[in-house]
Amino acid sequence: MTPSALLLALALLAPDSSQPFGGKWPYPPPRQVQATERTKCDMGTVLSVEAARGVMRGTTPAGVVTYKVGPEVQVFSLEGKPMGGLATLSPGQRYRAYYVVDDGAKVLEIDLEEGPVPGAAPAPGAAPK
């Protein structure tokens, strides 16, 4: 391999320092917000929603987390379509919450994930899991 080819190969393998996390995300990237090194991501199940107070509680592998959710926060469907704000969520839905730690967990975006909503009727024709 020639020296110039070797340099090119090394440059292509180097992490992209202009991207958060060197371009290698530790979680699926958010749909809308621009993530930074400060952005965190939790995956869990909605435990409760208090839309009037801007509060959502979720069960995560680390335990129950209380999130602050402002009126500007968008919830995205499985298909990636905007659904509205916090009031569109229901207990039992699975989510990814992108947030920053700023006097608590301040949510930037919520993306819904696949998974049944406990107690919900199955979709017509859906096979049991």
Which residues share a beta bridge with 101? Answer: 105
Indicate whether 34 pLDDT > 90: no
Tell me the residue range of the domain where 52 lies.
Answer: 46-115
In a domain, 79, yes or no: yes
Average the pLDDT over 17-36 and give the result. 76
In a domain, 56, yes or no: yes
Give the model confidence (pLDDT) of 87-113 as tens digits.
999 999 999 999 999 999 999 999 999
Q: What was the pLDDT predicted at 83?
A: 95
Task: Give Cβ neighbours of residue 107 (< 8 Å, ≥ 6 apart).
Answer: 56, 67, 68, 69, 70, 73, 97, 98, 99
In a domain, 69, yes or no: yes
**HSE toward the beta carbon, residue 47, CA cutoff 13 A:** 13
Residues of 48-59 as b/e, b for ≥16 C-beta within 10 angstroms? Answer: ebeeeebebebe
Q: What was the pLDDT predicted at 28?
A: 85
In a domain, 125, yes or no: no
Q: Rounded CA gap, 92 and 73, in Å?
A: 19
Range of weakest confidence among 53-57, 58-62, 92-96, 122-126: 122-126
Indicate whether 70 pLDDT > 80: yes
Greatest distance between any 2 Cα atoms in the chain? 64
In a domain, 80, yes or no: yes
In a domain, 8, yes or no: no
Q: How much of the chain, in percent, has pLDDT values that exceed 70?
A: 71
In a domain, 11, yes or no: no
What is the rounded average pLDDT for all residues in the chain? Answer: 82
Indicate whether 52 pLDDT > 60: yes
- The one-letter amino acid at 102: D
In a domain, 28, yes or no: no
E strand or H helix at 6, and its extent? helix 3-13
Domain count, the chain: 1
| pTM for the structure as a whole | 0.72
